[in-house]
Amino acid sequence: MTKARYTQLLKEEAQRLGFLSCGISKAGFLEAEAPRLEQWLRDDRHGKMGYMANHFDKRLDPTLLVPDAKSVISLLFNYFPEAEQQDPEAPKFAKYAYGTDYHFVLKDKLKQLFQYLEEEIGTINGRVFVDSAPVMEKAWAAKSGLGWVGKNTNLIAKSTGSFFFITEIICDLEFDYDGPATDHCGSCTACIDACPTEALTPYQIDASKCISYLTIELKDEIPSEFQGKMNNWAFGCDVCQTVCPWNRFSQVHQEPAFQPKEELLTYSAKDWEEITRETFDVIFKKSPVKRTGFDRLKQTFRFLR
């Protein structure tokens, strides 16, 4: 088979499995990203996420993750929901956390895709990644033409916005490679202007000020300086995506596993205030919110009051 045929098989099967889009880049060192990452870490923009400073070389070179890697396959998967939380006074959850933890759902789909390629082509040396290793997923997706990294530091696609997950397959097979997308943020600063904690400057984020970091990654108490600035976000934050003009093109996802429990949408502020550990376990079974835990979530609820 030719590289063109490999590419056709890959992209057709990715579409069949429900992926939004698929782009491919030649594996190699990310030269442009190296100084930016180094400076970001030096400025302590990663907060207390010490792991971000680990495996610096692996983060920039996928051939150190998969020996003899030839290609980085980037795939997007839509999670934009049909419905949102109903009570405007209730603690808010980021849309990506509405349903089943995407790590489980997408890793299974990637494994299916990888198995299909091996059945059609033969043995392939490679690995699948869903936030599971030091991969600069946004950089690779941009190099593969799936979108551009916007001023809010999210990957943005002209046709679909940014409410999607990014996953990868790194392997030793060669394909026809895609070229990078161009930037279409223009003079817009909606995301920067709307950020409740002023975590954004153009094309850079101070994670230590980001509400997603404060409510998920930070293991200590939320610093008092953010009191009254959290806009009622209890787990993650969607502000910089919601205000992005390109998300007017977001389409409702078709993945059953991402459908939320009814309680997540209908609970009032009082319901969340009175939630028990048992109810938490039911509503957030197999959910990303399980990661933060009942006690931490209740602590965040108290901080928001």
211 & 244 share domain: yes
Residue 254, pLDDT score: 96
205 & 279 share domain: yes
208 & 294 share domain: yes
- 183 as an active site residue: the answer is no
Give this prediction's pTM.
Answer: 0.94
Portion of the chain with pLDDT greater than 70, in percent: 97
For residue 41, tell me if it sits in a domain: yes
What band does 36 get if pLDDT is binned at 50, 70 and 90?
Answer: confident
209 & 146 share domain: no
> Within 13 Å of residue 305, how many CA atoms lie on the same side as its CB?
10
Residue of 140, 136, 190 lying closest to 161 (CA atoms): 190
Task: Please count the structural domains in the chain.
Answer: 2
Domain boundary among 144, 171, 198: 171
145 & 230 share domain: no
For residue 181, tell me if it sits in a domain: no
123 & 251 share domain: no
For residue 93, tell me if it sits in a domain: no
8 & 142 share domain: yes
Per the residue annotation, which of 87, 108, 131, 172 is the catalytic one? 131
**pLDDT tens for residues 44-62?**
776 666 666 666 788 889 9
**How large is the average pLDDT for residues 10-24?**
98
131 & 266 share domain: no
Query: For residue 88, what are its two tokens?
Result: 């405007």
From its phi and psi, is residue 145 left (phi > 0), alpha (psi between -120 and 50) or beta? left
210 & 164 share domain: no
229 & 273 share domain: yes
215 & 157 share domain: no
**How large is the average pLDDT for residues 222-232?**
96
6 vs 39, residue with greater confidence = 6
111 & 202 share domain: no
For residue 71, tell me if it sits in a domain: yes
Q: What is the CATH number of the domain that holds 14?
A: 3.40.109
For residue 289, tell me if it sits in a domain: yes
For residue 177, tell me if it sits in a domain: no
For residue 141, tell me if it sits in a domain: yes
Q: Domain range holding 297?
A: 190-304
For residue 105, tell me if it sits in a domain: yes
**pLDDT tens for residues 104-134?**
999 999 999 999 999 999 999 999 999 878 8
* Mean pLDDT for the chain overall: 94
**pLDDT tens for residues 143-180?**
999 999 999 999 999 999 999 999 999 999 999 999 99
